[in-house]
């Protein structure tokens, strides 16, 4: 009985170790993609800020909402 438990523990330990090695190897494969994604987002944020400093944000309607869309007071009567 003692030998069976020892073998079971060794098999469980080796399976857990293999899973840890595969997880680490997979994370090393994904690391360049994560770093590339981070660099790409940083570049896009820089580009947006640079172009908005040059006045390009005027051409993007989602960045600037017209004041006509948000009235400061509620009209009391409707003119026809």
Q: Tell me which residue range forms the domain holding 14.
A: 2-59
Distances (CA, A) of 70 to 41, 58, 60, 73, 80: 32, 18, 18, 9, 21
pLDDT of residue 41: 86
| Residue 40 placed within a domain | yes
Q: How many domains does the chain have?
A: 1
* In-domain check, residue 6: yes
Listed residue (64, 13, 46) closest to 5, CA to CA: 13
pLDDT, tens digit, for every residue of 2-51? 666 878 888 899 999 999 999 999 888 877 777 778 888 888 888 888 87
Contacts of 52 (CB under 8 A, 6+ apart): 63
Residue 74 within a domain: no
Q: Is residue 22 part of a domain?
A: yes
Residue 16 belongs to some domain of the structure: yes
What confidence tens digit (pLDDT) does each residue in 40-70 have? Answer: 888 888 888 887 777 655 555 555 555 555 5
Tell me whether residue 38 is in a domain: yes
């Amino acid at each position: 009985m003692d030998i069976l438990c020892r073998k079971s523990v060794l098999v469980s330990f080796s399976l857990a170790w293999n899973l840890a090695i595969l997880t680490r190897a997979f994370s090393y494969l994904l690391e360049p993609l994560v770093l590339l994604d981070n660099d790409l987002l940083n570049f896009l944020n820089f580009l947006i800020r640079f172009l908005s400093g040059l006045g390009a944000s005027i051409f993007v309607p989602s960045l600037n909402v017209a004041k006509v869309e948000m009235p400061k007071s509620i009209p009391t009567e409707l003119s026809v």
